[in-house]
C-alpha cells in the first residue's frame, strides 16, 4: 500500500523544516513502514525484524525499488525490501 499524496507531503514538510519526525509520525496514520525504520523505531535489531517477517511473526510484504510487490521473493532473496504492516499487531495476519 502506497502512502497517499497528502501524507507524503506532510512527511516531506516535517523533514524539510526539521520538525521532530517521531512527533509528526505519531499524528499521521502510517500503515506500512520499512523493516529498517521499524527496527529503528522499536529498538529491536533489524536482523530480528527480518526474521520475524520470514517466519510470519509480523505482517510483512516485500517490495522492489519501484514499489511493486515481490510475489515470490524466495527465487530472488536479495530483491527488494521488507515492509511491515503497522496496522496489525505482532502475530496478527
- State whether residue 79 is helix, strand or coil: coil
Considering the domain architecture, whether residues 40 and 23 belong to the same structural domain is answered as: no
Does residue 93 sit within a domain? no
pLDDT tens, position by position, for the chain (93 residues)?
455 677 667 766 665 665 555 566 666 677 889 999 988 888 889 999 999 998 888 899 999 888 889 888 778 778 889 999 888 877 776
Phi, psi angles (nearest 5°) of residue 42: -85, -20
Same domain, 6 and 48: no
- DSSP state, residue 85: E
In a domain, 92, yes or no: no
Please tell me the pTM assigned to this model.
0.63
- Domain of residue 16 covers 1-29
Contact 84, 33 (CB under 8 A): yes
Clarify whether residues 2 and 42 are in a common domain.
no
CA-based nearest residue to 81, from 34, 15, 21: 34
Amino acid at each position: 500500500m502506497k502512502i497517499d499524496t497528502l501524507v507524503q507531503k506532510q512527511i516531506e514538510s516535517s523533514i524539510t523544516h526539521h520538525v521532530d519526525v517521531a512527533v509528526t509520525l505519531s499524528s499521521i496514520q502510517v500503515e506500512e513502514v520499512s523493516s529498517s525504520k521499524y527496527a529503528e523505531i522499536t529498538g529491536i535489531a533489524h536482523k530480528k525484524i527480518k526474521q520475524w517477517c520470514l517466519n510470519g511473526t509480523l505482517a510483512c510484504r516485500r517490495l522492489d525499488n519501484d514499489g511493486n510487490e515481490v510475489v515470490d521473493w524466495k527465487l530472488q532473496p536479495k530483491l527488494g525490501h521488507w515492509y511491515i504492516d503497522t496496522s496489525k499487531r505482532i502475530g496478527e495476519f
